[in-house]
Amino acid sequence: MKFASTLARLALAFCACLALPLSANAQGWPTKQPIKFIVVYPPGGASDVTARLIGAKLGEVLGTTVIIENKPGANGIVATDFVAKSAPDGYTMLMANLGPNALNPVVYKKLPYDAIKDFTGVTLTTIVPQVVVVNQDLPVKSISELITYSKANPGKVSFGSAGHGASNHLSGELLNALGGIKMQHIPYKGDAPSIVDLMSGQIQVALPTTVAGLPHVKSGKLRAIAVTGSKRLEGMADVPTVAESLPGYEAVSWGGVMVPAGTPKEIVTRLNTEINRILNMPDVAEKLRALGAIIVGSTPEEFDKYVKDEITKWGKVARDNNIAID
């Protein structure tokens, strides 16, 4: 028993020694060394704008420089893998998104990173609902009418997405499943070309983000019949949620900040505190809302759980519809 007790004390002492460099490192963080904030998409999009808004303010409060690095490619795999393999020292952050961090793990047969084990969540920054839009000539003005029409006209209703395995591909299939219908999926290379074909009548339905879809609704070229979030949107109170017709339906794009797994907790906590505070600064909040984003802010633990739940949810949709990418 004494031998076992001695081993236990030695083990604890050893673990404590291992922890010392991390604590020391965390206490000295940040130095003047720049922090890299990796964005998975090209400049100009909602994810890039969000990262730049956060990065500029974060650099000021931390007394260092936050450099935005755009690393687009392979549906976000390039950038996400870069962060996964970066040192967990607080000097590399990821502007995480639904696609690379929750959809890629369920549609790609092989990934160079583990979406759960390789990252630690800092905060869920924003969610961006999609909007169900239809061609003006389609005789439906609600989700219930779309379901009724689709059942009465099998094979005549198709929905466009930003690509095979994209977020609005899966959200369209979820609508099919819960509505008991079978709209045909037509993949495009991005939301823009799908909206062009929707306006011309080549397809009948699309589920773009509010950022991409609402300008065409406001111009009168498309009709919005529902939003995919859990609540109606400010400024669109007359457009119901899908869940009002199909309880349990929710499909939103989201963004958040992550760091490599193993980043000291003290650093994660500091980043969480500062970024959540930045999200609620009036000038930042105004610009994010202009993108159609809903500001969230969360604890690291809440964000980690949210990502796991998203992977579980969309994994079922992908399996049920045989959505897979080699």
Domains of the chain are 30-127+253-320 (3.40.190.150), 131-244 (3.40.190.10)
Span 240-256, mean pLDDT?
Answer: 96
Question: Which burial class, exposed, middle or buried, applies to 220 when counting CB atoms under 10 A from its CB (0-12, 13-18, 19+)?
Answer: exposed
* Average per-residue pLDDT for the chain: 91
pLDDT confidence band for 34 (50 / 70 / 90): very high
Residue 7, pLDDT > 50, answer no
* pLDDT for 27: 67
What's the whole-number mean pLDDT along residues 8-34? 56
Higher pLDDT, 271 or 41: 271
What would the pLDDT profile of 286-316 be if each residue is shown by its tens digit?
999 888 889 999 999 999 999 999 999 999 9
pTM strictly above 0.75 = yes
Cβ within 8 Å of residue 205, ≥6 positions away:
132, 133, 134, 135, 138, 146, 157, 158, 159, 160, 172, 183, 198
Query: What's the confidence (pLDDT) of residue 138?
Result: 97
Categorise residue 22: left if φ over 0, alpha if ψ from -120 to 50, beta otherwise.
Answer: alpha
Q: Which of 9-23, 62-76, 152-166, 197-211 has the lowest mean pLDDT?
A: 9-23
**3-class state of residue 127 by DSSP:** strand
Q: Does the pLDDT value for residue 319 go beyond 90?
A: yes
Angle at 288 between CA 286 and CA 292, to 5 degrees: 110
Structure tokens at 298: 């969360």
pLDDT of 8 higher than 70? no
